[in-house]
Amino acid sequence: NAGVTQTPKFQVLKTGQSMTLQCAQDMNHNSMYWYRQDPGMGLRLIYYSASEGTTDKGEVPNGYNVSRLNKREFSLRLESAAPSQTSVYFCASNRGGVQETQYFGPGTRLLVL
Amino acid sequence: KQEVTQIPAALSVPEGENLVLNCSFTDSAIYNLQWFRQDPGKGLTSLLLIQSSQREQTSGRLNASLDKSSGRSTLYIAASQPGDSATYLCAPGGGADGLTFGKGTHLIIQP
């Protein structure tokens, strides 16, 4: 099993450009999450999808949109990138419910100039 | 809002030592707590998940304890090895809306 996959691995954008980060899981998980990791800040939740067809804001949603395309895929979109969005983005998934382990993808490193 | 503190922020010890990494959190209304390992430039790997009703969980040389009422968890690593070098992250889970992470303990095991 591939687990949680993310594309691209690395991206450089100019301020104002848009892009979509892709995430897919092959574990038949119900819930999916997007986090960002910044030096000295730890990981922070951007958006999550508790089940197919639902999405909710996390701690730091401003400047982002998400789409739960189907049960496998959860994308994160930056409509107009800003230097403050330079970060490493991680997607995670679990079966759903509060007792379940979260599984993480390898991350997307984004640099906004 | 949940606040998570991990102590120490960094630790460097010779191989073979037993280690204790500490995690404290401010909101004891959690469902579980996960410990993760992160290698440089990589994603997170789940090490242990302790349910709120449990006191501890063990996997090989790792043992994690949870004292929910006092807002504390510890990760004990026995007989440390150079391959244990990584950043260890603590993350209490308050519900279906994801985890709250500490900033981690950066661990170096000297051969």
Q: From the candidates A52, A66, A98, which should be mutated to test the interface with B, based on the most B CB atoms within 10 A?
A: A98
Q: Rounded to an integer, what distance in angstroms lies between the CA atom of residue B21 and that of residue B103?
A: 13
Residue of B nearest to A5 (CA): B43
Q: What's the token pair of residue B44?
A: 């997170």
CB contact under 8 A, A42 and B93: no
| Tens-place pLDDT, residues B94-111 | 776 678 999 999 999 999
Closest CA to B49 of A20, A107, A97: A97
Contacts by residues A44-50 (CB-CB < 8 Å, ≥ 24 positions apart): A44/B101, A45/B97, A45/B98, A45/B99, A45/B100, A46/A76, A46/A89, A47/A76, A48/B96, A48/B97, A48/B98, A49/A74, A50/A96, A50/B96, A50/B97
pLDDT (tens, 9 = 90+) of chain A, 113 residues, equals 679 999 999 999 999 999 999 999 999 999 999 999 998 888 999 999 988 989 999 999 999 999 998 999 999 999 999 999 999 999 999 988 666 788 999 999 999 99
User: For residue A73, what are its two tokens?
Assistant: 């895929």
Q: pLDDT tens-digit profile of B52-110?
A: 889 999 999 999 999 999 999 999 999 999 999 999 999 998 776 678 999 999 999 99
CA-to-CA dists, residue B3 to A18, B20, B79, angstroms: 32, 20, 30
Tokens of A96: 């759903």
Q: What are the residues facing B35 on neighbouring strands?
A: B48, B90
Cis before residue B82, ω within 30 degrees of 0? no
What span, in angstroms and rounded, lies between the C-alpha atoms of A44 and A60?
7
A61 touching B (Cβ < 8 Å): no
Give how far B18 is from chain A: nearest CA, Å: 26
Describe the strand order of the beta sheet including A19-25 as a list of residue ranges. Answer: A4-7, A19-25, A74-78, A64-68
CA dihedral B59, A3, A22, A47 (to 10 degrees): -40
CA distances from B42 to A43, A63, A65, B86 (A): 13, 25, 24, 10
Residue B45 CB neighbours (<10 A): 14
Interface test with A, best of B99, B105, B106 (most A CBs within 10 A): B99
> Which residues of chain A are within 8 Å of residue B103 when distances are taken between CB atoms?
40-42
Question: Residue B91: beta bridge partners?
Answer: B34
pLDDT tens, A37-55? 998 888 999 999 988 989 9
Neighbours of A59 (CB within 10 A): 16
Chain B positions touching A44 (Cβ under 8 A) are 101
Contact across the interface for B43 and A107, Cβ inside 8 Å: yes
CA–CA separation, A2 vs A91, rounded Å?
A: 14
| Inter-chain CB proximity A102 and B99 less than 8 Å | yes
